[in-house]
Amino acid sequence: MESLTPGSEAALDFPGLLRYWRGKRGYSQLALSLAAGVSQRHISFLESGRARPSRAMVLALADRLGVPLRQRNRLLLASGFAPAYSEHALASPPMQMVGQAIALILDKQEPYPAVVLDRFWNLVDANAAYRRMLGTLLAGRRPASLDDDGQRINLMLTVFDPRGLWPVIENGRQVGRYLVRRVCQALQVQAHDQVAREIFRRIAEWHPEMVGPAGELLGDDDAGEGSPPPVLPVVLHAGRFRASLFSTLTTLGIPQDITLQELRIECFYPADDATRTVFEALADMRTAPARAPAHAAS
């Protein structure tokens, strides 16, 4: 069995964080020293706490290790420096042009679904096709949320929720195991965050057949032999609605803001002609507003 329990990035001091990220990226002290242009001895001193890094050194090491912007700020704070990267709400004035670009992507994806998610898979925005599909599949059931007021839809939890989308996913075992791996890969970066741990906890609670008590991924007895398909479609079936979809993920290039780096735009496409017909028919119904209000990313 493979352990998928999120790893620890809970160390608050710079030496511990540097060791964590160096190990996560598979660098030896020598390899990191060569990449950063410093001596191996200096890397060793930084990791043992015998030397304190400059602000420039923290940023240089974080860059070489490919540390996400949010965690780069954390490295700076742990070293006694102010954060370097901003975190603006998507609806704020500095984000205006990016917001317009995202709206264009969503609109151009019609009549097929597209959704914008933050780092915890909370719904930031979606086009009308996605909202029509979600409304059809849930049939009045309330989508899952991490908020007490239930205002922000969490799509990862909604997928796994037995009262959400899980009953309408025909190939839930295959899709679920892929998504559990995706969740755990993301949580390895932010395992210290209580929100991340809550997502993992709920999925494990709902699906003990998929995630063991120690956070291990349980084996798939139904795994077939032979070559897998080029992409794994998600097959959704609720009443007369049936669709087979695959998706692409889009991220923003060279982001300098935490919110923008963590945004994901997922666009869905029909995996067969019958699905294409279904979404064209849904678009003709025009039962949903053209755009729903967006929520700022957390």
Name residue, tokens 């849930």.
138
Measured between alpha carbons, how far apart are the two ends of the chain, in Å?
34
Alpha-carbon distance of 125 to 110, in angstroms, equals: 14
Number of neighbouring beta carbons within 10 Å of residue 199: 23
The string of DSSP codes covering 9-23 is ----SHHHHHHHHHH
Q: Which amino acid is at 73?
A: N
- Measured in whole angstroms, how far is the alpha carbon of residue 169 from the centre of its chain? 20
pLDDT per residue as tens, the chain (298 positions):
344 444 444 557 999 999 999 998 999 999 999 999 999 999 999 999 999 999 999 999 999 999 999 999 999 999 999 999 999 999 999 999 999 999 999 999 999 999 999 999 999 999 999 999 999 999 999 999 988 777 889 999 999 999 999 999 999 999 999 898 888 877 777 656 788 888 988 999 999 988 877 777 666 655 555 667 788 999 999 999 999 999 999 999 999 999 999 999 999 999 999 999 999 988 887 654 545 444 444 3
Q: Which amino acid is at 110?
A: E
Domain boundaries 93-285, corresponding CATH code: 3.30.450.180
CATH 3.30.450.180 domain extents, the chain: 93-285
As a dihedral over the C-alpha atoms of residue 163, residue 165, residue 169, residue 175, rounded to 10 degrees, the angle is -110
User: Which tokens in the block code for residue 84?
Assistant: 């370097």
- State the burial class of residue 132 (Cβ atoms within 10 Å of its Cβ: 0-12, 13-18, 19+): buried
Alpha helix stretches (DSSP H) within 79-127: 96-108
Radius of gyration (Cα) for the chain, nearest Å? 21
Apex 159 CA angle, 242 and 115, nearest 5 = 80
pLDDT of residue 2: 41
Measure Cα distances from 143 to 29, 58, 114, 166, 292 in Å: 46, 41, 17, 11, 16
pLDDT of residue 151: 80
Cis peptide preceding 113, ω within 30 of 0: no
Alpha-carbon distance of 31 to 36, in angstroms, equals: 9
> Of the CATH numbers 1.10.260.40, 3.40.640.10, 1.20.1260.10, 3.30.70.260, which one belongs to the domain with range 2-78?
1.10.260.40
Quick one: which of 2, 20, 56 has its CA closest to 181?
2
CATH 1.10.260.40 domain extents, the chain: 2-78
203 with 157: CB under 8 angstroms? yes
- State the burial class of residue 214 (Cβ atoms within 10 Å of its Cβ: 0-12, 13-18, 19+): exposed
